[in-house]
A = this chain, B = another copy of it.
């Protein structure tokens, strides 16, 4: 019995689907002609196995394939590689879903702190959490620190760097992160979590994490599809991690499987995704399934907090809380920055709306 089960949507003629499914099972495991495999271990344990083929429409089939946990080595990047690495290059295949045994899930770790840990860090046992972003890219550390203080004074729980903030010369990581952390502390506003954006190759990433550690940062923002789900998995051992979906939509991978399940499995304590009705086109159903994948009981892993975002507005708070319930973090960035009332007042109104919506139910 293979520990890892993967469901692909394959588009092909009915007469071809058996062969196509077998080819997919080989592509995503040993990637060589099975008849040339000498090792009994590989034949018995490693070659992918076609478990089921279901009709999913005209010329479309859902193919369920069993893969070995051994093939992943318990490493997040290699799991993604085995799920869809080579078959991503075949346009007739979509990755729909995957599941794994409870012991296999434990190998990847899931969120180390998850929703309870995040609520503890913020001393908010219940109710929706609020989040906003430091932007725009091109601002100086002092400008960003000022904005962080205004958002924090307005009561925002979690203040993240825009995912466009990296290590640019206008606000290098080593200047930006201390500037924001110290400004918040000086103003007595460090009840909130400041979440700097980290990324880059291994040396750069470790240098950034060292600075974050020294400044007392407890949570970081990472885009796993840019910096690697392997990096997510490692960093989650030390920091709370907020996953960003950059590049995650380019994949022919169902968003609930990627942004919900895979990011959670590899340690995202909270996961950002484009809410329906914003600048992106995810449907209500897709958003509900992402939130479900992030929060539903799953092999004893901690839950990952859903963070709907992407062009949201305080006017939508009530509707979003009805849709997602209170185990959610609402992320509103640009709308606060553009408010004629000023950032602090706009943040206050947003936070107030989130609390009021929680109380009214």
Contacts and interface: CB of A to CB of B under 8 A. Distances in A.
A304 interface: no
| Chain multiplicity (copies) | 2
B71 A234 contact: no
A76 B167 CA distance: 11
Contact of A84 (B23, B202, B250): B250
B27 A88 contact: no
B32 A337 contact: yes
A45, A77, A245, A249 pick with most chain B CB within 10 angstroms: A77
Contacts of A246: 81, 85-86, 88
Given A227-B77, A253-B250, A70 B169 contact: yes
A88 B249 contact: yes
A280 interface: yes
Interface string A236-271: 000000000111111111000000000000000000
Contacts of A247: 80-81, 84-85, 88, 251
A39 B138 contact: yes
Contacts of A36: 334, 337-338
B30 A135 contact: yes
Nearest to A162: B31
Contacts of A73: 166-169
A226 B77 contact: yes
Given A164-B29, A228-B227, A245-B89, A139 B203 contact: no
A136 B32 contact: yes
Given A70-B170, A137-B71, A81 B230 contact: no
A68, A82, A88 pick with most chain B CB within 10 angstroms: A88
A223 interface: yes
Nearest to A255: B89
A189 B106 CA distance: 42
B230 A199 contact: yes
Nearest to A68: B138
B42 A138 contact: yes
A211 B75 CA distance: 18
B230 A204 contact: yes
A250 to B, nearest CB: 4
A360 to B, nearest CB: 30
Contact of A226 (B32, B80, B204, B333): B80
A124 interface: no
Given A46-B137, A137-B71, A139-B39, A164 B334 contact: no
A58 interface: no
A232 B88 CA distance: 20
B29 A137 contact: yes
Contacts of A126: none
Given A41-B170, A138-B39, A200-B77, A334 B31 contact: yes
Nearest to A203: B234
A334 B85 contact: no
Contacts of A249: 88-91
A125 interface: no
A233 interface: yes
A122 interface: no
A201 B235 contact: yes
Nearest to A226: B77
A205 interface: yes
B252 A338 contact: no
A267 to B, nearest CB: 10
